[in-house]
Amino acid sequence: MLRIPGPTPCPEEVLQAMTRQMINHRGVEFEALLRSATARLKEFFQTKGDVLILTASGTGGMEAAIVNTLSPGDKVLAVINGVFGERFADIAEAYGAEVERLAFPWGQPGDPDAIRRALDSDRSIKAVLVTHNETSTGVTSDLAAISAVVKQYDKLLLVDAISSLGCIDLQTDAWQCDVVVTGSQKGWMIPPGLAFISVSPKAWDAHARARIPRFYWDFAQAKKFLERGQTPWTPAVSILYALAVALELMAGEGLANIFARHARIGQRTRDEIKALGLPLFAAEKYASNTITAVKAPDGLDAKRLLTILREEHDVILAGGQRGLAGKIFRIGHLGWVTESDIDAVIERLRTALPKAGFATA
Amino acid sequence: MLRIPGPTPCPEEVLQAMTRQMINHRGVEFEALLRSATARLKEFFQTKGDVLILTASGTGGMEAAIVNTLSPGDKVLAVINGVFGERFADIAEAYGAEVERLAFPWGQPGDPDAIRRALDSDRSIKAVLVTHNETSTGVTSDLAAISAVVKQYDKLLLVDAISSLGCIDLQTDAWQCDVVVTGSQKGWMIPPGLAFISVSPKAWDAHARARIPRFYWDFAQAKKFLERGQTPWTPAVSILYALAVALELMAGEGLANIFARHARIGQRTRDEIKALGLPLFAAEKYASNTITAVKAPDGLDAKRLLTILREEHDVILAGGQRGLAGKIFRIGHLGWVTESDIDAVIERLRTALPKAGFATA
């Protein structure tokens, strides 16, 4: 029972898809595969703009978002409420952007009003970096509200949606997100190895002027090759086989149903955790429907709990990262997940918690 | 029958390995997988130095070699005898290196004496970029001889061995190669999605001073995480499952036997092509044992030949790239390949050639 925020478990038919033999990535079969996956991804991104498939993990996709739209010295506002918000800021800084870090308490979302004040007080800011769903704390920020502010000031909006897209509503076009990044091993029910990225017309304008050096990540190369049904560099073909099958499953379920399932399961997870007597880490109004972070109350040894769950109950949960190590644990419920998966985790938690020092409610 | 220079066909047990369910990439099972694959890769790289596994295609690995060792403005000598030598130079240039392009006729290898003259006439050159096996022309340069020259001048040696490593002898340590890059979909008999890279102590020295910005590709992050049995960013787990099985197969065959098999099959391919009356494109002394490039003589429509082979004979070969489009075709014989695979291709070529305008010998 792998219940971390990714890699997420893959359905059997997805795993079987990867037993398909290699094909020519410059040939007609691959072209059909890439075109159909790209078209489907656009539906899940809720965009009529471009969606590109890169061979990389999600962090590679975040790097691509930065290097394709910014120039050294550009001012960037980074909305940070956890590890992945910091990572996005770190990447921008590594490439020479001047990053203003707008930090919020971990467990809280990014606050649109604070973003408004930051944009108002520094009109030279060019782009805003936002983590839609902060995996490290299990918090979903109100991206629609944040976008409304960012667009009022006509800034470029770069979104890390790695652990939300395909699970939680994200309306790329309606919310005017310029670049949205996700990773294959999250809501998509397939193994890691691919990043999917949307590029708006405004992002293409930025791309034309962006002077951070780039080669492997270049959106223009990806788009040029996509027009002939290819990728510029040899892609992770077997992950694309998996993607084709997963997208079929997702289309069968339907986007609205997928969102509803994640909302239902997120709520159930939180309810069950509270019923065990454990406190939630995230502000409940903003608690993520893909990841639940659970506070370790006094007496509970969170690291020992994870070890007991793994060794005695075959359940793999995630710990806290950085400053949250030992203070929280996290349950992933994104992608291929049902109510009974969560019930099984809760049942085993109930058994394991006392051994780790916590008397359940 | 997929006989292109990559992706190469995967043995059935490799494909089956990818049906294994996802695991925690921060957990103990993954640690064992990564440590064992890294140790085995070192044997195939013939190095006691570091070998890093990146989630990317080979081009990503080439980019990593550049951005981890160079600074903007560094002078670089790029040895170019085909498309991939040009790509290596293009990457260095994209990141601000001052690139001197030492070009050789396509079909010929890089010439150590010319490299010596170039290094002698410009002592400010910091690094030399070499393509061990030029996939676009089917030529293997004499890397040992080139290295002897490069090391006489004490330069950094960055090697694209994407289509040679694990097939053709490349002694990373003995030949003092500082960074050697390869891609999973070539000699390794597994799907694309991973790049493997060796880093010598001299390359680490260069890394400490290199100022090209980097984040995703950073060798130091990869090494730091490898020390705890992890990768910095979520890796392509299923390709690593495939790798573990393939490395087992390769270890069973033995490095010397693998080299001998590729040499035997390379020779057989060239002999059979000549017996058909077709000329080889590459200088025969330097003809690659992983890819054979065949010249299209007058009358032979190479593009039509590839279409006939694909549509009527289920054989996929590669065409020529850039200026060689329509002028050559290429047969890949690397990784999972036997004599009978080549015989089958030759047999079907014999049937298809007359239809494409060429009367076989």
Indicate the domain borders of chain B: 12-252, 255-355
Contacts of A320 in chain B (CB under 8 A): none
With a pLDDT cut of 90, the percent of chain A lying above it is: 99
The domain defined by B12-252 folds into Aspartate Aminotransferase; domain 2 (3.40.640)
Q: Are B329 and B302 in contact (CB under 8 A)?
A: yes
**Position A208 confidence tier, pLDDT thresholds 50, 70, 90:** very high
Interface test with A, best of B28, B31, B55, B160 (most A CBs within 10 A): B55
Distance CA B230, CA B326 (A): 45
Mean pLDDT of A337-353: 97
A360 pLDDT band, cuts 50/70/90, is: confident
The reported pLDDT for the residue numbered B168 is 98
pLDDT recorded at residue B166: 98
Fold for domain A254-355?
Aspartate Aminotransferase, domain 1 (3.90.1150)
Tell whether B11 is within 8 A of chain A (Cβ). no
B192/A57 touch (CB, cutoff 8 Å), yes or no: no
* pLDDT-derived band at B342, boundaries 50, 70, 90: very high
CB contact under 8 A, A59 and B234: yes
Calpha distance B53→A98 (Å, rounded): 31
The residues with which A197 forms a beta bridge, in sequence order, are A52, A181
| Strands (DSSP E) found in chain A | 50-55, 75-80, 98-103, 125-131, 133-134, 139-140, 156-160, 179-183, 194-199, 291-295, 318-319, 328-332
Beta carbons of A212 and A66 less than 8 angstroms apart? yes
* Beta carbons of A352 and A27 less than 8 angstroms apart: no
In angstroms and rounded to an integer, the radius of gyration of the C-alpha atoms of chain A is 20
pLDDT tier for residue B360 given thresholds of 50, 70 and 90: confident
First-to-last C-alpha distance (Å) of chain A: 24
pLDDT digits (tens, 9 = 90+) for B138-164: 999 999 999 999 999 999 999 999 999
Q: Is B294 helix (H, G, I), strand (E, B) or coil?
A: strand
Helix (DSSP H) and strand (DSSP E) numbers for chain B: 12, 12
A76 close to B (CB below 8 A)? no
Q: Cβ of B18 and A19 within 8 Å?
A: yes
- Output phi, psi for A182, to 5 deg: -140, 170
User: Is A361 a residue whose pLDDT tops 90?
Assistant: no
d(CA B86, CA A217): 18
B255-355 belongs to which CATH class? alpha beta
- pLDDT at position A36: 98
**Rounded to an integer, what distance in angstroms lies between the CA atom of residue A21 and that of residue A44?**
28
Is residue B312 pLDDT above 90, yes or no?
Answer: yes
CATH of A13-252, one of 3.40.50.720, 3.40.390.10, 3.40.50.150, 3.40.640.10: 3.40.640.10
Give the pLDDT band (50/70/90) at residue B361. confident
Average pLDDT over chain A, rounded to whole? 97
Whether A214 has its CB under 8 Å from any CB of chain B: the answer is yes
Mean pLDDT for chain B?
97
CATH topology agreement for domains A13-252 and A254-355: no
Half-sphere CA count of B349, side-chain side, radius 13 A = 27
The Cα–Cα gap between A181 and A10 comes to: 21
In the prediction, which pLDDT does B112 show?
A: 98
DSSP string, B178-229: SEEEEETTSTT-S-SSEEEEEE-HHHHHHHHH--S--STT-HHHHHHHHHTT
- The structure's pTM equals 0.98
B41-60 pLDDT, tens digit per residue, is 999 999 999 999 999 999 99
pLDDT digits (tens, 9 = 90+) for A142-159: 999 999 999 999 999 999
For the cut 90, the answer to whether the pLDDT of residue B256 exceeds it is yes
Which residues from A are below 8 Å from B3, CB to CB?
A: none
pLDDT digit string, tens, across residues B112-133: 999 999 999 999 999 999 999 9
Q: For chain B, say whether A350 makes contact (Cβ under 8 Å).
A: no
Residue type at A21 in one-letter notation: Q
Cβ atoms of residues B17 and B160 within 8 Å: no
Asked if pLDDT for residue A217 goes beyond 90, the answer is yes
Identify whether the C-beta of residue B20 lies closer than 8 Å to the C-beta of residue A14.
no
